[in-house]
Structure 1
Amino acid sequence: LLDVALPPGFSRNRYVYLSYAESDGKRSGTAVGRGRLSDDGRALEDFRVLFRQAPKLSTGVHYGARLVFDGRGYLYISLGENYQRMAAQDLDKLQGKIVRLREDGSVPPDNPYAGKPGARAEIWSYGHRNPQGLALHPRTGQLWESEHGPRGGDEVNLVKRGANYGWPLATYGIDYSGRPIPEARGGEAPGTEQPLYWWKQSPAISGMAFYDADRFPAWRNSLFLGALADRDLIRLTLDGDKVVAEERLLGERSSRIRDVRQGPDGYVYVLTDASPGELLRVAPAQPGE
């Protein structure tokens, strides 16, 4: 199980969406389905699969699988490249992509590659490595994404329609062996988008969320990201679409931070992926901030 999300119409339709890894016995990929929450709140009824990543290429890694609803009837899904680097550049595959669907799983006819030979109509953007963060900016409605680099080169990106985010042709990271990525042409490559922000040493960023609540004014205009390798919560201070400061909030913990959300009460909630897992409620250290 990789993500759980409620659509804007949940109070009316009681749908719950799940993303998860699905195997065919040899390889695996990301799938997304939805079910209706039962009247007693104890089960999902009439669950059905709406989307499957194809072809299945993963041996157990790089699923991505964050879910975001834009409030206009569309669902965005982030998909890892399954550790098959060049698949992120292949438009006939759904690895290393962000896809856009209608909430019922159908493909919008105005997607950038709909109707183009040799391309999957679901694709919204491509050239992603392993995007584990996806969120809408609360003021602009712009879709933002964060993804793991290899050894270095973790990124935050503004997702644009039909754009290529470069992996593995453009990266600021190196291979885990310490050698360059074989396909990489450096930090930039023709026809690819530059990240909004990136790290030379990978914190292994995971889930992310914007903060737009009134409870803690000093945190407004912030983007929070979990860190798996660094075991911390990262706060990026924003000025429009620019990152102007970075802060680490929790110190090195014994658990990796898997996801982060703004709660309806204005606190920040953090999920660890330890065993047993923890749900943490986070507030500024200084009263009044």
Structure 2
Amino acid sequence: MLSRRQVLAGLLALGLGRGRAQRLEEAVEGLEVPWALAFLPDGGFLVSERPGRIRLVRGGRATLYAELSVYARGESGLLGIALHPRFPQEPYLYAYRTVEEGGLRNQVVRLWHRGERGVLERVVLDGIPARPHGLHSGGRIAFGPDGMLYVTTGEVYERELAQDLSSLGGKILRLTPEGAPAPGNPFLGRPGARPEVYSYGHRNPQGLAWHPETGELFASEHGPSGEQGFGHDEVNLILPGGNYGWPRVVGRGGDPRYLDPLYFWPQGFPPGNLAFWRGGLYVAGLRGQALLRLELTGGKGNWRVARVETVLQGLGRLREVRVGPDGALYVTTSNRDGRGQVRPGDDKVLRLL
């Protein structure tokens, strides 16, 4: 459980008295590199662990829901999960994983939900690039307001894949729940282009969130801090067919051929997921080890970041952030991913009220 010192350290950064989060609770502990959450209608939730397990959490207790074969190296393994938008009428859970059998690659698979267990049903999309180092695999999946499945993919340190429309690497993809290219995709019918591509020029996108009023898509992305000594991790407003510049530009390039980020961190803040909650855009930080709140002003198609504040810190690396059906904000630590300092009880799912 969280120590009193840890709870107080977190609460001191929560912005009390401003109508935002007022309490920090622990939902479950003892996980191994939790990557994504999916909330069930019965009040429980599923959490993926990068080594290949999906846990079912109810009442603070985690049990094994499914175990998938994965290639767990570097940043690869079992990553994002998402429930079918018509769940439980359509009883499916989708997952993004790295596999080695038959050739190393990333893929989206679908599991059949059977109450307390999930059973692998079929592969939805195959052939997303992966490399033995396991880096830049992307991995976030989420269903949008349009009922389509969005998938973030990395360029696996092969930069030009991000600009190559014939590759699934370095992209945001848009699929039907059955895995077909979604109707209205910007490159449908274009010779030499993958019809699944929704946007491109991405380095390693890690988060997806839709504005609750306008329905616009926002994404978080890792910049080249480890390669060139600077950061430029980004938050982008995603437009269909948009080219976000990697590797041609880093940060705000001012080149009309490429879309500049809505916000970037010049010194680096490799982000996990992001979520809209209580009027702000919340971003989980891995190396930055904090949960930030971005205050947006403007309006549809014309947003800017007016203010950035630290909401939560002192708990190490944070990866997932997601709004639960109870209205709370859920955050996961990622201190057992090989890059963090392991704390007692890690890794955890935390609940902000």
Q: TM-score range by the shorter chain?
A: 0.7 to 0.9
Matched, 1:147 2:221: yes
Deviates more, 1:48-57 or 1:68-77: 48-57
For the aligned residue pairs, the C-alpha RMSD in angstroms reads: 1.8
Q: Deviations over 1:268-287 (max 9, x none)?
A: 1110112331111124xxxx
Matched, 1:6 2:83: yes
Q: Which amino acid aligns with 1:73?
A: G
* Structure 1 residue 107, shift from structure 2 partner: 1.4
Partner Cα distance (2:105, 2:309) in 1: 34
Kept after mapping to 2: 8 A contact 1:29/1:82:
no
Q: Which amino acid aligns with 2:94?
A: Y
Kept after mapping to 1: 8 A contact 2:98/2:130:
no
Q: Deviations over 1:111-153 (max 9, x none)?
A: 2112211111110100001100111111111111110111111
* 2:236 paired residue among 152, 157, 166: 157
* Structure 1 residue 7, shift from structure 2 partner: 2.1
* Structure 1 residue 58, shift from structure 2 partner: 5.6
Q: In the alignment, which residue of structure 2 is the partner of 1:182? A: none
Q: In the alignment, which residue of structure 1 is the partner of 2:107? A: 31
> What TM-score do the two structures reach when normalised by structure 1?
0.84
Q: Which amino acid aligns with 1:94?
A: L
Deviates more, 1:274-283 or 1:76-85: 274-283
* 2:254 paired residue among 188, 208, 233: 188
Paired positions, count: 258
Partner Cα distance (2:87, 2:304) in 1: 33
Q: In the alignment, which residue of structure 2 is the partner of 1:258? A: 319
Q: Which amino acid aligns with 1:209?
A: A
Kept after mapping to 2: 8 A contact 1:230/1:252:
no
Matched, 1:229 2:278: no
Of the two structures, which has the highest relative contact order with CA contacts closer than 8 Å and spacing of 6 or more?
A: 2
* Structure 1 residue 191, shift from structure 2 partner: 0.8
> What TM-score do the two structures reach when normalised by structure 2?
0.69
The 1:100/1:58 distance shift into structure 2, 3 A limit, reads farther
Alignment of 1:90-105 (within 5 A): 90-105=164-179
Question: Which ranges of structure 2 fall in alignment gaps of 5 or more residues?
Answer: 1-77, 226-230, 337-345
Q: Deviations over 1:248-287 (max 9, x none)?
A: 122343x21011011222221110112331111124xxxx
